[in-house]
Amino acid sequence: MAQQLVFEAPRAKLPPRHLADLDAQARAAAVAELGLPAFRAKQLAAQYYGRLIADPHEMTDLPAAVRDAIASALFPTLLSVAKEISCDAGQTRKTLWRAVNDPSGTTFESVLMRYPQRNTICISSQAGCGMACPFCATGQGGLTRNLSTAEILEQVRAGAVALRDDFGPTQCLSNVVFMGMGEPLANYARVLAAVQRITAAPPDGFGISARSVTVSTVGLAPAIRKLADERLGVTLALSLHAPDDELRDTLVPVNNRWTTSEALDAARYYGDVTGRRVSVEYALIRDVNDQPWRADLLAKRLHGALGPLAHINLIPLNPTAGSDWDASPKDTEREFVRRVRAKGVSCTVRDTRGREINAACGQLAAENN
């Protein structure tokens, strides 16, 4: 039986307040509550975002007498490592996180990927996902809860720390992609706050270029338009997976609420407002959505809806254990790319990192559970 779409996360207790949950004004107020001078707020933010320190006891510019109080009030431990695996000679590292303050044992994932010219972290915005896409391990597991802003940002900080400590002080994060567990735009307010802090310059954020941050969505059309109006300049990735409503209704059930045309119209609005090219994600599934006529239809629809703003990112499916879904053969993939490009639409095939460590969204969590 098909799973029901879940747009509202189950009511679950969020973790205690953390410095990363707070904007500059709220940080100042929190410091004042502790009876500390105002400059401590900027000092704490500089330590967290600039030096990547999340333990006040390691912040040597703080008076020793106030470190315990600051740690208790603003730096609770949010995440612990439940499992970590790597491949590609250590260049791809997947972490299963466990929420420390959650009695239900909430878990979610992030993946750190090193490339010659960039270092990318793929992060989760929810524990689980309510969008019920049948080929996705996370979608089939259902939604547990939204992540807090700090839980999202702690994944980023942990990735930056791992790069610095394991690969040298010159190594830093260059790209952040919201393509892990969850539908980012279904946790809109917290994801927005996280993006603002990822892209803000220290001491207010990690200082990663907005052009190097990608927010993925299955097509929540009103939220796409709302994100466009924020004018953050991040890249939008639309998970399309089928060019026709008949198939997309099954592969991406949210299509029953906002059709392919509505999702593409919202994506065009995003591109027009931001001036950014839209990445259209298309998981290529054997004998499901890889037919030549669907390649032609996909190219036609994107050329008409997005024009030069369209870019197709083909994703060879990373199959889930026990699933009937499988990746398309390489010759089918090559023909699909050829036909799309022949219609004048940009198309590339995503590098398939981490297949041997279940690095696709939700696979490690499903295996662990």
306-351 pLDDT, tens digit each: 999 999 999 999 887 777 899 999 999 999 999 999 999 999 999 8
Q: What are phi and psi of 231, to 5 degrees?
A: 55, 45
Token pair of 337 as six digits: 């790319």
Give pLDDT, residue 118: 95
CB 87 within 8 A of CB 354: yes
Strand runs labelled E in the chain:
79-87, 92-99, 107-114, 119-122, 126-128, 143-146, 175-178, 213-217, 235-239, 278-284, 310-316, 346-349
Residue 347 designated active-site = no
Rounded Cα–Cα distance for residues 149 and 52 (Å): 16
Residue 133 designated active-site = no
Give pLDDT, residue 137: 87
Give pLDDT, residue 363: 56
Give pLDDT, residue 341: 97
Buried b (16+ CB within 10 A) or exposed e, 43-77: bbbbbbbeebbbebeebeebeeeebeebbebbbbe
Which tens digit of pLDDT belongs to each residue from 179-209?
999 999 999 999 999 999 999 999 999 999 9
Classify 305 as helix, strand or coil: helix
Comparing 362 with 159, the larger pLDDT belongs to 159
> Mean pLDDT over all residues of the chain?
93
Torsion of CA 268, 336, 111, 321, to 10 degrees: 120
Residue 256 banded pLDDT, cuts 50, 70, 90: very high
CB 245 within 8 A of CB 255: yes
- Average pLDDT (211-218) is 98
Give pLDDT, residue 364: 58
Token pair of 284 as six digits: 């290529």
Give pLDDT, residue 102: 83
Rounded Cα–Cα distance for residues 228 and 266 (Å): 9
Comparing 216 with 319, the larger pLDDT belongs to 216
For residue 308, is the peptide bond before it cis, meaning its omega torsion is within 30 degrees of 0? Answer: no
Task: Work out the angle between the directed axes of helices 188-199 and 149-167 (0-180°, nearest 10).
Answer: 40
**Which one of 109, 151, 154, 183 is the catalytic residue?**
109
Whose tokens are 């037919």? That residue is 291
- Average pLDDT (265-283) is 97
Which tens digit of pLDDT belongs to each residue from 6-41?
887 777 778 999 999 999 999 999 999 999 999 999
Instruction: Kindly tell me if the per-residue pLDDT of 1 is higher than 50.
Output: no
Q: Which of 191, 275, 258 is nearest to 218 (CA)?
A: 258
- Average pLDDT (126-149) is 93
Rounded Cα–Cα distance for residues 210 and 148 (Å): 21
Could you tell me whether strands 107-114 and 119-122 are parallel, antiparallel, or unpaired per DSSP bridges?
antiparallel
**Which one of 122, 129, 133, 361 is the catalytic residue?**
361
